[in-house]
Structure 1
Amino acid sequence: MCECLDREAYPSSLTDAQWAVVEPLLPVRDPRRGGRPLTYDRRLVLDTILYVLVSGCAWRQVPHDLAPWDAAYRWFRAWSADGTWDRVHDQLRDRLRAREGRTVQPSAAVLDSQSARSAEGGEAIGYDAGKRVRGRKRHLLVDTGGLLLRAVVHSASVQDRAGARQVLTGIHALFPLLALVWVDGGYVNVVDAGLVGWARRAEDLEIVAVARNADRRGFQVLPRRWVVERTFGWLTRCRRLARDYERKTSHAEAMIKVAMIRLMAARLAGEDRQPHGAIETEAARRLAKDLDRDQ
């Protein structure tokens, strides 16, 4: 049971320890109503948003013991517009990096995209001919531990190199120590090295492609690249992110941030939500190997 709410918690709900991590970072006043207190408890609103995220249900189908769907959606939309999700996410990421003994500012990152089918209409819907997917692409830049640095959602018809420019534009101002970005071979064309040259000139970044083994067929676990693939795996365990249900790209980006906030709050509370199985064991082994190599 939640101590502050007279209801049984859902598996998607924050525990008391996780709420203690997130609570100080959320607004306590309604800026649209002269700074009045919020009508509904912030924890109830956040649990309602998390229920939609994890279960994948429509907003109108949230259970009656949570906040009214229109109130929860209104605050999800408001906190997307005023940057609340961004601020909460970035502060939790910085705290988690510091607790793990790493500097707040990363020096290396991994970039990749994921095409997601669109279940609704809306802006920036396109067709990815390579993946044969109609919808949008999620472009993620993550640190070497898989934590999100920047997420950009755009049309699936946008080529990876063009999408990478959207992600990396202005990144040096946000992360001044970032100097190296690993990508897959699709971002670096031998004939057209435009992305590599642009990143060096505009953002002082070195783009390094992690090549596949041409002698092997099928899926391959590639050095460094597996980190961002694991992050995509974390996200798509939230059913709302298994497809793209949002009508606005800003809301699609916000849902990614909310999923990472939930994961990081659990880690900071000592209640890691990551599944533990063969894949996670192998990922931990490879991460330890990469860290030993870097030291």
Structure 2
Amino acid sequence: MGTAVKTARTSPASWDAFSDVDAFVDEVLAELGAMEADGAKPTRSGPKPALTGTALRKAIMAVWCLCVCGMQWRAIGQLCDIPFSTLFTLFSRWTRLGLWRRLLDRLRRTWRLVCDDAAEPTAVVIDSRSCCSAPSCFGRGFDGGKKINGVKVHLGVDKYGIPLAIDVSPANVHDTRGIVPVLRELSGKGFRGSALGDLGYRGKRLAKAGQKLGITVKAIARGRDGKFLPAGICWVVERSFSWIANYRRLNTIFDRTKEHLVAFIEIAFVSILSRRLNRLVASEISA
């Protein structure tokens, strides 16, 4: 993977989380239909009929609002006239069935193909970000370097900044240990290539763990005298963290399970990609 990034052309517009929300809802509905066709059963039978039509669209938009606005489950239930227990049950079931991961992988491949690139990358960029968390969060630790008491998000992204693997851990877990689950997830998806990171990923133990998984971990200096310096494509992961910082639920973590936090990170990137694909200029679509 080279350093050049040739992105597809999109219509110019300032960043607005509320623009093209329908594109996000349409992508989720399409993936739900694909899961039902595959036999994944995204909805279950019960005494109450499953949400359909407008009610289902409203429920999907409510989950999106939770991620963007950082609202509470009970508050969004009051606003959309759907019991918060129903919304949480839907979100939990979709997360357990892997809806958000499936959708993110599909949109990521679509975006790469639109950019005249291969569907799968040959190298990824890895990094972590410490976030404050509430005492009720699933795990907590103190990051002495950044003076943050909370959790740490570990990402492995391609050159367009879209994650292939996500994991979270308490903030006191060192990067060389916290990134191992990300490497395992990448290896499980068939990735074989280089993982580029900052100097925090140096060490023989991490290098050997990567070799066993078929991944070469390369530590590259990204700064000098306390200043950040872009090195090749390694800067793209910093941009990815800045993107998800616009989603308020991902700034202070309240989720009580790691799976739900990862799901909200995936929802943030699904929102970004669905908006991009919806804004592709006509020439790119016809090509």
Q: Residues 101 and 246 from structure 1, CA distance in 2 versus in 1: closer, same or farther, beyond 3 angstroms?
A: same
Paired residue for 2:149? 134
Residue 38, structure 1, aligned to residue 38, structure 2: no
Q: CA deviation at 1:170?
A: 4.5
Q: Contact (CA 8 Å) 2:154, 2:178: kept in 1 or not?
A: yes
Q: 1:221 & 1:70 partners in 2: Cα distance? A: 46
Q: CA deviation at 1:100?
A: 1.5
Match of 1:168 among 180, 183, 186: 183
Q: 1:113 & 1:167 partners in 2: Cα distance? A: 11
Paired residue for 2:168? 153
1:101-148 Cα shifts (integer Å, max 9, x gaps): 111121010000011110241322222222221111100000011011
Residue 86, structure 1, aligned to residue 92, structure 2: no
1:250 maps to amino acid:
E
Structure 2 unaligned runs (5+)? 1-15, 37-41, 282-287
Q: 1:197 & 1:131 partners in 2: Cα distance? A: 28
Q: Residues 76 and 271 from structure 1, CA distance in 2 versus in 1: closer, same or farther, beyond 3 angstroms?
A: farther
1:111 maps to amino acid:
I
Q: CA deviation at 1:34?
A: 8.7
Q: 1:82 & 1:120 partners in 2: Cα distance? A: 28
Q: 1:144 & 1:123 partners in 2: Cα distance? A: 31
Q: CA deviation at 1:213?
A: 4.3
Aligned residues: 257
Match of 1:48 among 43, 59, 62: 62
Q: Residues 12 and 69 from structure 1, CA distance in 2 versus in 1: closer, same or farther, beyond 3 angstroms?
A: farther
Q: For CA contacts below 8 A with separation 6 or more, give which structure has more relative contact order.
A: 2
Report the aligned-residue RMSD. Answer: 2.5
Matches within 5 A, 1:1-295: 12=18, 14-26=20-32, 30-33=43-46, 37-38=50-51, 41-62=55-76, 64-65=79-80, 67-176=82-191, 178-189=192-203, 193-200=204-211, 202-214=212-224, 216-270=225-279
Sequence identity of aligned pairs in percent? 29
Q: 1:271 & 1:58 partners in 2: Cα distance? A: 33
1:2-44 Cα shifts (integer Å, max 9, x gaps): xxxxxxxx96375444443332112576225399532673211
1:70-119 Cα shifts (integer Å, max 9, x gaps): 32222111111121111111111121112221111210100000111102
Structure 1 unaligned runs (5+)? 1-9, 273-295
1:114 maps to amino acid:
R
Q: Residues 36 and 102 from structure 1, CA distance in 2 versus in 1: closer, same or farther, beyond 3 angstroms?
A: farther
Q: Contact (CA 8 Å) 1:128, 1:156: kept in 2 or not?
A: yes
Q: 1:88 & 1:35 partners in 2: Cα distance? A: 27
Q: 1:129 & 1:21 partners in 2: Cα distance? A: 40
1:47 maps to amino acid:
M
Q: CA deviation at 1:46?
A: 1.1
Using the TM superposition, name which of 140-149 and 41-50 deviates more.
41-50
Q: Residues 251 and 146 from structure 1, CA distance in 2 versus in 1: closer, same or farther, beyond 3 angstroms?
A: same
1:247-279 Cα shifts (integer Å, max 9, x gaps): 11111100000111111111111179xxxxxxx
Q: 1:11 & 1:231 partners in 2: Cα distance? A: 15
Q: CA deviation at 1:234?
A: 0.6
Q: 1:128 & 1:237 partners in 2: Cα distance? A: 22
- Normalised to the residue count of structure 2, the TM-score between the two structures is 0.81
- Normalised to the residue count of structure 1, the TM-score between the two structures is 0.79
Q: 1:65 & 1:260 partners in 2: Cα distance? A: 24
Q: 1:229 & 1:51 partners in 2: Cα distance? A: 24
